[in-house]
Amino acid sequence: MGKIQKISLALVGLIIGGSLVGCDDGRAGAEVAAKQLASAISALDVGDVAFEGKDAAAANEQLQEVFKALEPGKPAVETGELKLEEDTATVPLAYNWKIGSSEWKYSVTAELKKSGDSWLTVWKPALLVPDLVDGEILTKATESPQRADILGAGDAPLVTYRPVVNVGIDKQQLAGGDPAASAGKLAELVGVDSAAFVSQVQAAGAEAFVVAITLRDDASRTVTDAQISAIPGARAIKESMPLAPTRTFARALLGTVGQANAEQIEKSGGALTAGDVTGTGGLQQQYDALLRGTDRVIIRAQKADLTAEEIQAAGTDPRRTVFDVPATPGTPLKTTLDPSSQQLAEEILADIQPASAIVALRPSTGAVLAAASGPGSNGYNTAMLGQYAPGSTFKMVDSLAMFRNGMTPDSKVECTPTLTVDGRTFKNAEGYPADSLGSVTLRDAFAHSCNTAFISARDSVSQAQLESAATSLGVAVEAPKLGADAFLGSVPGEAEGTEHAASMIGQGKILMSPLSAAVMAGSVAKGAPVSPQLVLNADAAVPGSAASESPTAAAATPSSSASDAPPPAKTAEKPITKEEATALADMMRAVVTSGHAGFLMDVPGSPVGAKTGTAEFGKENPPKTHAWIVAVHGDLAVAVFVEEGGLGATTSGPLLKEFLTAAG
């Protein structure tokens, strides 16, 4: 191509380009300005937007003030179809706010004006919210629905609204008195930290009511209204709040309810705000969204300086509602927990100082009737989360594995005083009867819990067979119907030497919770693996919440036996059969009729079958021991555990007898 041709083409391109510029009606520039405006509002920062009739900094300050009540939320703002008329343009702005679980959508119209080569936004408050005028801001109020109850067996209310009194200092009623002096006297009266409460009262505003403690307003209340009112400024304000029947009732399992703290609010993703009531720990936290429901949210436009007094004095509310989401009531959480069984278990454990637990369930259905953790557990859910060596209760698993190798309760085994495996000496429990040594039936070795007889079977019963037999009894198997966090047991499939020998007597790396021990016993009574059930409507939980996940195994407990246990199996490898269960039940009955649980012979009702267990732990000499006993009694399976309890028969046994006798 020649030089003249190149110049000609360049001139043509220049002419065409000039024609396009000449035909530009300004739409492209207006659309760019509109999109920049939408993006700036979405970020709640219009400090770089060019406005007509308003300084950008002033406009940004007003925007911040209008939307302050909605922090930390930000709107998603998108532009619609721009309409152009010479040097002016209008464009719809579509707002979308996330308000809790709802969306607040609205549209406004932005006006743009061309100034030279630029497009300016015409500032007006209605650009932010429809019909908003200068001097107005948005406010946000929430109204929480009443929290739903937690129900027990037969829909008996476990946690429901009960009367309380908030005891504190009302600084408006001090009448010139010394707030520190009153706070100190009240703190001493109700038993709270005096220095901390005095500091709270002193730091609070002149019109504040500062709560020292919330007390149940029932017969358990020992601080009287007269004692409180005798202190200047002290008041007891009646209220109600979700509470269990007593302060300790299933506390570790159910959790508690109170005002959300800063950490809970931060983690809630906007679901919780200051003043909201929420669950802490246990089922209250796990099913918080289900129980809480959703708040009513009201967003109003009002004068920035409007006072509460002016609102009350006005005949008609001067505020304008711009968005209103109705509340959704919470859904009651239905459980299988039996109030009388739970209360009985807690009363029996009331004086036990070490960590302890009683779990009772119905083998026929798997329904958990009681899951009590004693005061020595210090608020921990030992009943369902504890991880402890089960000791000789695990001989139920050994025996099932031995049955599958051809043995019966009448098969002969050798019970020796001691047995040495790879240099480690194992012995029977102190006081083992001499007349049960030597060649005895498996039933007799089980009834008297001969350690050496069961360890002697280690060569014919592999660790893998133990694992399989454990799952056959419902141990270390997922519990899809439980609906609560629990440790379901752990039985490693591989172990050699002394570790395998220790496994035969429920030590080594074998771990159970009181719940899994009750499941093991219950599976014998049922003649099939028991799958425990506690929460009946877990499927009603809000999708994506903690409760919508099926909990199976929990983190390690603070006990000395805690370990990083593997997850439970999906199902039993080979479910226990009726015939196998009958043979095990025969041997469990022998523990009562001829073994060292004879104290259960006079329990009224159906014959009791049991198995005791004592598991050594720690490095002391003599070592400390966990005390266990499990039992079946008709359609009832019970596990009793005491963390530092001597022998299972002598420590946990009497607690079990008391429970079975009273439970009927």
The pLDDT-based confidence of 542 (bands split at 50, 70, 90) is low
Q: How distant, in Å, are the alpha carbons of 146, 174, 189 from that of 186? A: 30, 13, 5
d(CA 276, CA 297): 12
Q: Which helix (H) or strand (E) holds 299?
A: strand 296-303
* pLDDT of amino acid 7: 39
Could you tell me if 556 and 387 are in contact, meaning their C-beta atoms sit under 8 angstroms apart? yes
Residue 280 pLDDT exceeds 80: yes
- Other CB atoms within 10 A of residue 122 CB: 15
The pLDDT-based confidence of 421 (bands split at 50, 70, 90) is confident
User: What tens digit of pLDDT does each residue of 30-57 get?
Assistant: 999 999 999 999 999 999 999 998 999 9
Q: How distant, in Å, are the alpha carbons of 151, 276, 600 from that of 332? A: 7, 18, 39
Non-local CB neighbours of 300 within 8 Å, separated by 6+ positions: 138, 139, 140, 141, 319, 320, 321, 322
d(CA 326, CA 102): 10
Residue 609 pLDDT exceeds 80: yes
* pLDDT of amino acid 457: 87
Residue 550 pLDDT exceeds 80: no
What CA dihedral angle connects 49, 50, 51 and 53, to 10 degrees?
Answer: 140
The b/e string for 407-429 (b: 16+ C-beta within 10 A; e otherwise) is: bebeeebebbeebebeeeebebb
Could you tell me if 641 and 386 are in contact, meaning their C-beta atoms sit under 8 angstroms apart? yes
User: What tens digit of pLDDT does each residue of 220-273 get?
Assistant: 899 999 999 999 999 999 999 999 999 999 999 999 988 777 787 778 776 777
- What percent of the chain is modeled with pLDDT above 70? 92
d(CA 185, CA 196): 13
* pLDDT of amino acid 563: 52
The pLDDT-based confidence of 549 (bands split at 50, 70, 90) is very low
- Kindly report the pTM of this predicted structure: 0.82
Nearest CA-CA partner of 585 in 637, 625, 542, 533:
637
Question: What mean pLDDT is predicted for residues 474-486?
Answer: 96
More confident residue, 653 or 544: 653
Half-sphere exposure of 231 (CA within 13 A, CB side): 26
DSSP 273: -
Residue 318 pLDDT exceeds 70: yes
Specify which residues 108 forms β-bridges with. Answer: 93
Could you tell me if 30 and 62 are in contact, meaning their C-beta atoms sit under 8 angstroms apart? no
The pLDDT-based confidence of 9 (bands split at 50, 70, 90) is very low
Could you tell me if 343 and 663 are in contact, meaning their C-beta atoms sit under 8 angstroms apart? no
CA angle 34, 36, 39 (to 5 degrees): 110
Strands 333-334 and 150-151 turn out to be parallel
Domains and CATH numbers, the chain: 3-133 (3.10.450.100), 150-333 (3.90.1310), 339-663 (3.40.710.10)
Residue 354 pLDDT exceeds 50: yes
Question: What mean pLDDT is predicted for residues 633-644?
Answer: 96
User: What tens digit of pLDDT does each residue of 402-416 get?
Assistant: 999 999 999 999 998
What CA dihedral angle connects 384, 387, 393 and 394, to 10 degrees?
Answer: 120
Nearest CA-CA partner of 336 in 379, 374, 366:
366
Mean residue pLDDT of the chain comes to 89
Residue 158 pLDDT exceeds 90: yes
Nearest CA-CA partner of 344 in 630, 658, 606:
658
User: What tens digit of pLDDT does each residue of 427-474 get?
Assistant: 877 777 888 888 999 999 999 999 898 989 888 999 999 999 999 999
Residue 601 pLDDT exceeds 60: yes
How far is residue 218 CA from its own chain's centroid? 28
For CA atoms 302, 307, 308, 312, the dihedral sign is negative
Question: What mean pLDDT is predicted for residues 342-368?
Answer: 97
- Other CB atoms within 10 A of residue 301 CB: 21
HEC letters along 416-440: CCEEEECCEEEECCCCCCHHHCEEE
- Other CB atoms within 10 A of residue 527 CB: 17
The pLDDT-based confidence of 522 (bands split at 50, 70, 90) is very high
d(CA 446, CA 457): 13
